[in-house]
Amino acid sequence: MKRVSAMKQTASALIDLESNASGQPCGLVLDCDGVLFDSKDANTAYYNHIRYAVQLPPMTEEEATYSHMTSTEEALERMIPDELKEEAMRVRGMTRYRDTFMSMMQPAPYMVSFLRNMHAAGLRLALCTNRSDSVHDVLRHFDIAQYFSPIVTITHVQPKPSPQGLLEVAKAWDVSPGSIIFLGDSLVDQQAAAAAGVPFWSYANPQLAAAVHITSFKELDEIVTLMLM
């Protein structure tokens, strides 16, 4: 018992968190791309498909990195010349991501088990993503939509680094932003959390400024489970 108590104190000390009366976080918010899924290959193929259709070469590594963490609109605005934007948007409208590219997305190891465990433990989970409402297709495809409420997309709020999405989650849960945790993998995630006053945990990106750096969902499961004891 003493060992468990000490481990719990260690886990809780990792962050500056406005916990609830039981000393537990009020909920965990997760990003989609780069956290729940390794989707960089899928997203790169999607954008290169559009670029090829308007006779542009494949994205540079810098463009691929940028497109992976931002919204589709922002990515296309940056990488498509003005004179080709109308045709690029036409191609985008004809392209069904879920039919061609979704199968290239790889769920993070142990991610589904983590979601099941946290759901069973009663921890609230939300999603805050720079995808549009099309993310619902992704969640249904991988049968994990039932674990998240709310699911906040750029169809309804400004994309990260705006704090609007995280603040919407706190409002939906009727808790203070400082009592929840946001797990993300990119600079825009870090910036959104800072602007919202939400403690930020980094997933698989040690270069980010974060209270906690997580390397896997297995590790995340162990830490959060200790915090919930």
Q: pLDDT per residue over 104-148, tens digit each?
A: 999 999 999 999 999 999 999 999 999 999 899 999 999 999 999
Q: Is the pLDDT score of 8 beyond 60?
A: no
Q: What are the CB-based long-range contacts (under 8 Å, 24+) for 96-100?
A: 97/46, 97/134, 97/137, 98/134, 98/137, 98/138, 98/141, 100/46, 100/49
CATH number, position 13: 3.40.50.1000
Same domain flag for 109 and 152: yes
CA 27 – CA 89 distance, rounded (Å):
38
Same domain flag for 199 and 167: yes
Structure tokens belonging to residue 182: 């946001």
pLDDT-based confidence at residue 24 (cuts at 50, 70, 90): confident
Same domain flag for 26 and 52: no
pLDDT-based confidence at residue 168 (cuts at 50, 70, 90): very high
pLDDT-based confidence at residue 13 (cuts at 50, 70, 90): very low
Question: Helices in the chain by DSSP H: which ranges?
Answer: 2-12, 40-53, 61-69, 72-79, 85-94, 97-100, 111-121, 135-141, 164-173, 187-196, 217-227
Same domain flag for 127 and 17: yes
pTM: 0.87
Give the H or E element holding residue 29.
strand 27-30
What's the confidence (pLDDT) of residue 68? 82
Q: Per-residue pLDDT tens for 27-77? A: 999 999 999 999 999 999 999 999 999 999 999 999 998 998 888 999 999
Q: Which of the 8 DSSP states describes residue 170?
A: H
- How far, in Å, are 62, 65, 129 from residue 185 at the CA level? 16, 12, 11
For residue 61, the enclosing domain spans 40-104
Angle of helix 217-227 versus helix 111-121 axis, rounded to 10: 10
Domain count, the chain: 2
Could you tell me what percent of the chain has a pLDDT over 90?
81
Same domain flag for 86 and 124: no
What's the confidence (pLDDT) of residue 12? 53
Which of 87, 104, 121 marks a domain boundary? 104
Burial class (CB in 10 A: 0-12, 13-18, 19+), 89: middle
Identity of the amino acid at 220: L
What's the confidence (pLDDT) of residue 135? 95
What's the confidence (pLDDT) of residue 10? 45
Q: Is the pLDDT score of 173 beyond 90?
A: yes
Same domain flag for 63 and 160: no
Structure tokens belonging to residue 4: 């468990």
